[in-house]
Structures are given as structure tokens and as C-alpha cells.
Amino acid sequence: MSALEASAKIARAQSRQAVLVEPGRLELRDYVAPHPGPGELLIQIKCALSCGTDLKTFRRGHPVWKLPMPFGHEFSGVVVEAGEGVTAFKLGDEIMAAPTAPCGICFYCQHGQE
């Protein structure tokens, strides 16, 4: 078994997930990751962060996100499994989520650093 296969097995068997149950209440729950479907990836999370949106959601909920829900949306990790049809990523790729809404006009957007 390769190191990546072992990582995928560990990620599926021993994951824990912070779940926002209601505003002001987080629970740490055991989690079994599904195999990725077509076009999806399984990522072994190496680092996860909280941002202002997370804080506001923790305090008062969110108008779009339904509770209970996994908490946090900014992370980095390693691709440990890819679903059918995935061609842009391969096992072992280090990735990060960039859930942003770039403005397209600021210094960073103008320099390809959205």
C-alpha cells in the first residue's frame, strides 16, 4: 500500500469534523468520508482556518447555509483520491481552497493573486 493509499484509508477511518449544530454550539463528530464521485476529490486536510464569515455564522447562523453543517471553509491538504473524470489534479497534489469573490480591480487581482 502506498503512502497516499494509506492516507486515504486513514482519512476515511479516523476523521473528526467540527459541526455547527446551532448558533453558538459546535460539536466534534466522527466522520467517514465517502469515496469521491465523478469530478470530485477526497482531500486529507492538513490545515483549516476560521474567518470572519465563520465567526458571524457561529454567532448568528447564516441566511443560506442550513444547520447542522460542517464548520469552516478555508483549508489546505493533499489529494488522496480522485473521482472519475478528474484531470486537473492527481494523487499527492497539495492544494488549498480559495473560496473568494475577487473584485478584479484591486492590486492583488490585477497581479493574479485573487
Give the residue, 33 or 6, on which the prediction is more confident.
33
Average pLDDT over residues 17-21: 92
CA dist list (Å): 46 to 20, 94, 96, 97, 107: 20, 10, 10, 12, 29
Cα distance between residue 54 and residue 58, in whole Å: 6
Ordered by where they begin, the domains of the chain are 3-110 (3.90.180.10)
* In contact, 75 and 48? CB cutoff 8 Å: yes
Looking up cell 465567526 gives 55
Give the residue, 64 or 12, on which the prediction is more confident.
64
Instruction: Tell me the pLDDT tens digit for each residue of 21-80.
Output: 999 999 999 988 888 999 999 998 888 888 888 898 999 988 888 899 988 778 899 999
Q: In this structure, which amino acid lies at residue 54?
A: D
Cα distance between residue 85 and residue 23, in whole Å: 38
